[in-house]
Amino acid sequence: MSESMQDKVGRLGFVGHAREAFDFLTRLGFVETTCTNTMVDWQGARTGITVFHGSQSYIMGAEFRRLAARHVPIDLADALRAIHPDQVHLAAYQTSSASNVRAGLDQLASLVRDDCEALLAGDPQVWQRVEEAWRQQQEVYEREARIRVLRERANQAWHTKEYATAVSLYREMEEALTEVEKGRVAYLTRRLGSPDE
């Protein structure tokens, strides 16, 4: 397949199918601004949207961005978390099969068209709600990452018998302790005595 033909079709037919599935964007005044084998980008008066097919992960998804200010792009799942939470599980589609690319793009287009109309229109109240939900989700991700690191370090300290370090690390993540970890803290507190002594 020639390079110019590949640009029109995209990997696994992605570009052609994306243009067809998201054709409603042109009726809403959006213009295609960028296209690669695995990504098509449209821009409207207030909002941009990128539809992509991951080069290595084969995950298809969509991202929204506000054009008026510098904002982090908002993934379709994050947008749906604020707009239509029961649809979040449909926001990403993974396929390495040409026959499933169309189905995945149709699913994504349906979600964007049916649930994200106000976001596409640039409604400031909807954007504010979506960005707040995004910030809250980022805090959850950061807290989970922090707890993973603390847990790994605390468990390592437990196994290397650095008990004072283990207790200290477990206490930093007290709200997320498992029953086993709570038992370790109780045991080590008795063994080492109160940390305030």
Residue 3: the pLDDT is 42
What pLDDT was estimated at residue 56? 85
- How much is the pLDDT for 174? 92
Note the pLDDT of residue 23: 96
Q: Give pLDDT tens digits for 27-57.
A: 999 999 999 989 999 999 999 999 999 888 8
pLDDT for position 5: 41
Which pLDDT score is estimated for 6? 43
Q: Of the candidates 104, 78, 77, which has an alpha carbon nearest to the alpha carbon of residue 89?
A: 77
**Residue type for 44, please?**
G
Q: How far is CA 53 from the centre of its chain?
A: 14
- pLDDT for 10 equals 66
Q: Write down the pLDDT at residue 194.
A: 58
What is the value of pTM for the model shown? 0.74
Per-residue pLDDT, 4: 44
Q: What are the tens digits of pLDDT across the range 99-116?
A: 899 999 999 999 999 999
Residues in the chain, pLDDT under 70:
1-10, 70, 194-197
Number of alpha carbons in the 13 Å side-chain half-sphere of residue 24:
15
d(CA 58, CA 71): 26
Give the C-alpha separation, 34 to 128, whole Å. Answer: 27
Q: What is the pLDDT of residue 196?
A: 46
Q: Tokens 């189905």 correspond to what residue? A: 103
